[in-house]
Amino acid sequence: MSKAHTFKLGKFSCAVISDGASRTMSLAAVFPAVSKDDLHTAKDYFKISTDDVEVGYNVLFIDTGLQKVLIDTGLENGDLVQNLAEIGINAESIDTIFITHGDSDHVGGMLNFPNARFIFPTDAWTQWTNPESRQALNDQFIHLFANMRSKEQLEAMAQSREKHGAEILAAVKTRTNLIDIEYEAIPGIKFIAAPGHRSDHFAVEISSEDETLIHVVDSIRHPFQTNYAWPSFIDSFPEQIVETNKLLVGRILEKKARVMGAHFPFPALAKLSRQKDKLVWEWQA
């Protein structure tokens, strides 16, 4: 099975690259605050027969014709570099990387791309490089996993996040650019506000000619969240993610954009449309 799905977006040549690590979770585990009856209703609405959902780990590659761009870098020891190479893209050729937030499955591979400049939202960079706000980021993350991981695992996670903010970001500072949201650091590519999953979390909008793709990253993990005000188990700020997802869905519909999610089943591309009073979700092959 191919681990890279190529497609065109206007003049841009794009690919969704699997970083490996895909797994299956029960819908009840993804949405622990939702009743069985409500899950059953949602399954009927979406014509889903299974109680499980595939959780993918996907990274977006964009060749603008002038730059080779990644949205995030995957895990430190994931399959991203290998799967890029299988479609003829080597890590050294990546020249620009947009970082959406500081979770390890999005920033773990930063040092695998030695020639890339990194694009951060100014606010996210400030949160990670200031010791006090970095501690707040760690606290919100560790609190979220307190009942899911052992003490040793939690300590390792905290150490990894501290290393990211205190050491790795310092190491790449000279090849980092800080930008405001909605500013096109590269023509056609910009961050959009998407707090809630984490306080440092952003989505990305990519446009070329008359086509748009909105990469929701970790904000929307499952189609249910486009129709129901449901946070997932992994969202640090449940009430905020619900409001963010309403705004993202509105933007997707307004721009008639394709949508991608970091944790959708590979190849992680879909189309949303409104039919009468219902949102319709259509996976794209």
Residue 179 structural domain: 4-134+174-283
- The amino acid that residue 13 corresponds to is S
Q: What is the rounded distance in angstroms from the CA atom of residue 167 to the CA atom of residue 184?
A: 28
User: What is the predicted pLDDT for the residue at 25?
Assistant: 96
Residue 198 lies in a domain: yes
Above 80 in pLDDT, residue 277? no
In a domain, 146, yes or no: no
Does residue 128 lie within any of the structural domains? yes
Number of compact structural domains in the chain: 1
Identify whether 166 is part of a domain.
Answer: no
Instruction: Give the up-direction half-sphere exposure of residue 120: CA atoms within 13 A in the CB hemisphere.
Output: 24
Question: How far is the C-alpha of 203 from the C-alpha of 36, rounded, in Å?
Answer: 30
Residue 251, pLDDT score: 98
Q: Rounded to an integer, what distance in angstroms lies between the CA atom of residue 52 and that of residue 69?
A: 33
Q: Residue 284: its pLDDT value, please?
A: 84
Percent of the chain scoring above 70 in pLDDT: 99
| Beta-bridge partners for 60 | 16, 71
87 within domain boundaries: yes
| Dist CA 129 CA 212 (whole Å) | 32
**Overall average pLDDT of the 238-248 stretch:** 98
- Mind listing the pLDDT tens digit for each residue in 102-154? 999 999 999 999 999 999 999 999 999 999 999 999 998 999 999 889 999 99
Pick the closest to residue 184 from 8, 90, 62, 14 (CA basis).
62
CATH of residue 67:
3.60.15.10
Q: What is the average pLDDT across 9-23? A: 96
Give the CA radius of gyration of the chain.
18
Asked if residue 142 is part of any domain, the answer here is no
Flag whether pLDDT at 100 surpasses 90: yes
Residue 193 has pLDDT above 80, yes or no: yes
Say if 143 falls within a structural domain. no
Residue 1, pLDDT above cutoff 70: no
What is the average pLDDT value for the chain, to the nearest integer?
96
| pLDDT score recorded for residue 33 | 95
Q: Is 82 helix (H, G, I), strand (E, B) or coil?
A: helix
Residue 148's pLDDT is 87
Query: How many C-beta atoms lie closer than 10 Å to residue 131's C-beta?
Result: 10
214, 188 in Cβ contact below 8 A?
no
Q: DSSP E strands: which ranges in 27-105? A: 52-55, 58-63, 68-71, 96-98
| Domain contains 149 | no
